[in-house]
Amino acid sequence: MWVIVERSTENPEQCWISGVFKKRQDAEEYGSSHGPSELKFSQEVREISAREYPVLFMEDFAKCDFIYVTSKELADLLFAFVKVADEDHVYCNYFIFREDYRGIPGEDCLGQTDHHHVDNGLLRNIFYHGLKFKHSSTRY
């Protein structure tokens, strides 16, 4: 599978996933669907080891990047956070893609995808009930 990560050229710490594709050809066609004159962002096409949906990505705030993770890896990362007292503190965000995703090139549309802001409340819920994904029997 393939993911396209875009990064603002004006603010390199701002990045987003603009596409997730099962087929390389679809990723390449999407990536080349706009000309260089339009680019106010850079693109990176990455191959990930997943072969089937759903696929998960964790937003790494420290690296300003997105990391492909399995559900087991995500659970391990979530349980490893050093907890803080601030109930509203967001440790990370994670995103679930169940099919090919085509965002708008050059725009961060991830807020419209299936995503979760990991705070203390969500961590408690995951601790007591497990990490569950809609339309899936996967539980960690």
pLDDT in tens, 98-121: 999 999 888 889 989 999 999 999
Averaged pLDDT of the chain: 88
Q: What is the pLDDT of residue 137?
A: 38
Q: Is the pLDDT of residue 72 over 50?
A: yes
Tell me the C-alpha distance between 53 and 56, whole Å. Answer: 9
Give dist(CA 114, CA 11) in Å, integer: 25
Give the residue extent of every domain in the chain: 2-129
8-61 pLDDT tens trace: 888 888 899 999 999 999 999 998 876 554 556 788 999 999 999 999 999 988
Residue 34: predicted pLDDT = 64
Least Cα distance to 19 among 33, 35, 3 occurs for 3
Q: Would you give the end-to-end CA distance of the chain in angstroms?
A: 23
Nearest to 17 by CA among 131, 101, 130: 101
